[in-house]
Amino acid sequence: MTTEIELRNIQKWFGSNQVIKDFNLTIAPHEFIVMLGQSGCGKTTTLRAIAGLETIDDGDILIDGEPVQHLKCSDRDIAMVFQSFSLYPHMTVYENIAFPLRATRMGKADIDKAVKEIARILQISDLLDKRPSALSGGDMQRVAIGRALVRQPKAMLMDEPIGALDAKLREQMRAEIKRLHVKQGSTTVYVTHDQVEAMSLADRIVIMHDGKLQQVGRPEEVYLHPANLFVAQFVGSPVMNVADIDIGTADSATEIRLQGSEKGFAFGDAALTGIRRDAPVALGIRPEAVLLSHSKSNDHLSAVTTNIEPLGSHDIVDVKIGGQTLRARTESGFVAGEGQEVWVNLDPEQAHFFDRESGLSLRKAQ
C-alpha cells in the first residue's frame, strides 16, 4: 500500500460558487494528511473528489501517477469512512465488513479470514453477529473503519470520522486511528474541523479556507510559522492574539506600540528584520508568549486584568492595554481576580507579523 496521490490544479464549481480554487497537493506514500478548515471551506468536497463521489471541473487527480478523475469510485480502489458511519443497517457487523469483499466476488474462506483478522485488530471480534443499531458510537466507527480497511485499499479517506462521537470517546478513537495508521501504514487523507485532531494525527496538515489551500506543513510548522492570519488564528487554542500595531522608536530602541496605547514594547531590531515600517502591520502573538509579572520593571507595561478562565493546568488571563485586549497563558492561580494590575511583556522570539492588507506573514522567509 505505497500509494501516492497527486492533486493538480483542481477546480470545482457548485453553480456559480467556486468551492475548490486551484488546489495542488502531493500526498506521499504512507503519509497521514489532515485537511483542516471550517465547515464549508471545501475540504470535504476535495475528499469526495479524490474518492470519486464528486466530479471536478478542471485539473487532474493522479493515483500512483495515473489520472483517475474520469474513473468511477469503484475503479479507483480507495476506501472511505463517512462521518455518518454509513453502515448497512440490515446487515450484521460481519456482513458489513465482508460487503466490499463479497461485492468483488472473493472466495468465502478468504473473506472469513480477512474479516476475522480485521475484527481482531479493531477489537470487535465479539460484535460480529450484532446489527449496527445495537452498537455504541465508538463501535460503529470501528466497524466503519474495519469495512474500509478489510480490502486493503490503495488509500484511506476519512471524512470527520469521529466528529459524531462524544469528547471522551473522540480522544480514545483518535489514539486508535493513530495506532492503526502506524500499524497499517496506508496513505490516509483525513478531514476535520478540529485542530486538536489535526495536530495530534497528522504527518502534514493542509489548511483550507474558502476553497483555497492556505498552508501545508508539519503540525509544529503550521503552529510555529503560520503562513497567514487565517492559519495563525485557526490553529492553536486559545486563539492567537492579533493586534494592530505601530512600529516606532523610543530611547533609540525599536518599539512596538499597540494602537491606542501610548507606551510600547521594546523589540530588538533582530526580531523586526525585513518588516516594512510604512504599511499597516498586525502583530500576532500566542497567549504563551504574553508574559505577565506582578512586579514593576522598565520593559514591562502596566495592564489591568479583565477576565480569567481557570482551566486547571493553566489559566487564560485577558489583560487590557490601551484599547486592546491580549490573552495571556499563566500558571493556574497566578492572577487572583479581575481588575488587578499586572505587568506585561511580549516574547519577541515568538512574535509574528502580518501584512494587514494581504494577511500574509511578513516573516515567511524564516
Least distance in Å: CB of 101 to another protein? 9
Q: Would you say 52 or 59 has its CB closer to another protein?
A: 52
How far apart CA 123 and CA 219 sit, in angstroms, is 29
At 150, give phi and psi (nearest 5°).
Answer: -60, -30
Residues in the site for another protein, rule: CB under 8 A?
A: 51-53, 72-74, 77-80, 82, 84, 86-90, 99-100, 102-104, 131, 147-148, 151
Q: Would you say 191 or 289 has its CB closer to another protein?
A: 191
Least distance in Å: CB of 131 to another protein? 7
Least distance in Å: CB of 214 to another protein? 28
How far apart CA 233 and CA 229 sit, in angstroms, is 6
Q: Would you say 147 or 257 has its CB closer to another protein?
A: 147
Torsion of CA 36, 123, 143, 79, to 10 degrees: 60
Query: Which one-letter amino acid corresponds to residue 193?
Result: H
Q: Would you say 50 or 303 has its CB closer to another protein?
A: 50
Least distance in Å: CB of 97 to another protein? 10
Least distance in Å: CB of 50 to another protein? 11
Q: Which three cell numbers stand for residue 124?
A: 470487535
Q: Would you say 103 or 175 has its CB closer to another protein?
A: 103
How far apart CA 232 and CA 243 sit, in angstroms, is 13
266 CB-side CA count, 13 A? 8
Q: Which three cell numbers stand for residue 32?
A: 497521514
Sheet containing 301-310: order of strands: 290-293, 341-346, 301-310, 314-321, 324-331
